[in-house]
Structure 1
């Protein structure tokens, strides 16, 4: 090709720019350092143009770092013979060869259940059945939010399960100490459906947090503690208030297997597909914030956030549940300040390191302002209005 003398300078300039752009792209891809592209990503938030950063972030967020260890744990529990010596070596959740659960008057009178009794054998078989079913369904499904009212079912005020119904207004009440800065009790109680977290105490705090409870949402560690009480009592809001929990440890299905039969109100487990979705979303927001603040490589996130131990909070999943079953969602008691306790009802001042609360706050802001920017959720799902009360 012959280039006219008059356009050669222009051609040279374009060639230099092209070479520089190619070099920059190559360095970004090879090094895996995407922090410098964050500002570009934020500027294009309203555009539907994919970028190298988006693809890498989504791919990394979809990887479950705890998958391998969790699978091994589930397989070990399912395959283990509770009569074997290996089982006895693994029973850190048991006490001196006896399972300290009390499932009713008969068990309370007889004391702790012997691990080698027919009663415990039946419990163990039920536990393994629940665990297998949970693990079989634990997979990613972008449509789980659209099917929430049918998959998770909803609950009315008397504790009766109802399928396919959405609530007009829902309040999710977090446990942050910021609740003590304003009197939101009446506003919270005015909602049709009120979700509370991890059995937070409301006695003496009614003017701040209200008194109405439609659903008690907790992680399974709470039930594990409650199972030590007679009748698996875990009802600070009343025995007719249904309980929903996510399984933070597979072995807690043993507590569920026994307590489920003794509860007057429904005792439910979150859909494992929702668990997977929540894990991906929170990890996405955590990585996004990490890259923006540190400018470190993508791979450095794991060592700074506990790797396989990293997890979403109970509050985050409760909010996602509400978004799936409610026409309007109000969020109370989520956030922090230098002058407020971590929990309004305790003296705890520090946050758990396995959660990235600030990243979750970023998610809540997107739920309010730009819900379509939240990843991993099907486009078919219609987000309800969400309001955060500070």
Structure 2
């Protein structure tokens, strides 16, 4: 976690200084950050001005904002995607994968090793950098979400741990893009605001699509437990985050 400023924020800052002549504090965390998820609950009220007021706004998996600006705002500093998104973009002419504009950097985690070829090709054709998450962050996310999923499974079902795998797609089980985006923000921001995470029986799964069902390979309920512990500001209840010198930022969740 302590390396995220150097691995992620520093190259992003250098890009914005070069392309926009921005004044940034390289080596220091963002003061305020908004992580905007894609849940349909975003359509229940407008957070646009609040979202856009943050120093850094991170959006997920190229979610469409056009015609939804009243609810989700229009500012984008970072685009966080999984490599399946970039793989689809790589098939287009010029690897067009910038719905928020060509100057917005892309941060992504690798779902399949073959997708690294897409990174090489797309990064060479873009103005903004394409940054791959460090494998240590990927491992940390996997450990945290599995811990919370196992704990929730035992507490809510009373069944033995050995039965967890069958209930969660076994080896296909994986953390969501949103979970890693939030953990990334925790490592590069002094204050994190989370929007568009959570669900409602009356809301669609994604605000910008008609999808209503969740993917079984993710355990969203377990991830929400993790977010609540982040907001509670008690690092002792969250495993694997007790790295020396690392302190949790303020985290506020807007359900």
TM-score where L is the length of structure 2:
0.93
The secondary structure found in structure 2 opposite 1:341 is coil
Give the corresponding residue for 2:242.
378
The secondary structure found in structure 1 opposite 2:27 is coil
Q: What does 1:67-78 correspond to in 2, within 5 Å? A: none
Match status 1:389 vs 2:245? no
Deviation at 1:157, TM superposition (A): 9.2
Deviation at 1:156, TM superposition (A): 3.4
Deviation at 1:231, TM superposition (A): 0.6
Which of structures 1 and 2 has the bigger CA Rg?
1
Deviation at 1:259, TM superposition (A): 1.1
Higher relative contact order, chain-length normalized (CA < 8 Å, sep 6+): 2
Deviation at 1:146, TM superposition (A): 2.0
The secondary structure found in structure 2 opposite 1:168 is coil
Mapped partners of 2:126, 2:16: distance in 1: 11
Deviation at 1:271, TM superposition (A): 0.7
The secondary structure found in structure 2 opposite 1:317 is helix
2:140–2:240 contact (8 Å) kept in structure 1: yes
Match status 1:322 vs 2:190? no
Q: What does 1:155-304 correspond to in 2, within 5 Å? A: 155-156=12-13, 159-160=16-17, 163-304=26-167
Mapped partners of 2:198, 2:34: distance in 1: 15
1:198–1:216 contact (8 Å) kept in structure 2: yes
Mapped partners of 1:345, 1:281: distance in 2: 28
The secondary structure found in structure 2 opposite 1:245 is strand
Deviation at 1:325, TM superposition (A): 0.3
Match status 1:150 vs 2:14? no
Report the CA distance shift for 1:147/1:349 in structure 2 as closer, same or farther (over 3 A): same
Structure 1: 5+ residue runs without aligned partners?
1-144
* Residues 36-85 of structure 1 deviation map (CA, whole Å, 9 limit, x = unaligned): xxxxxxxxxxxxxxxxxxxxxxxxxxxxxxxxxxxxxxxxxxxxxxxxxx
Give the corresponding residue for 1:133.
none
Once superposed, what is the RMSD of the aligned Cα atoms? 1.4
1:278–1:317 contact (8 Å) kept in structure 2: yes
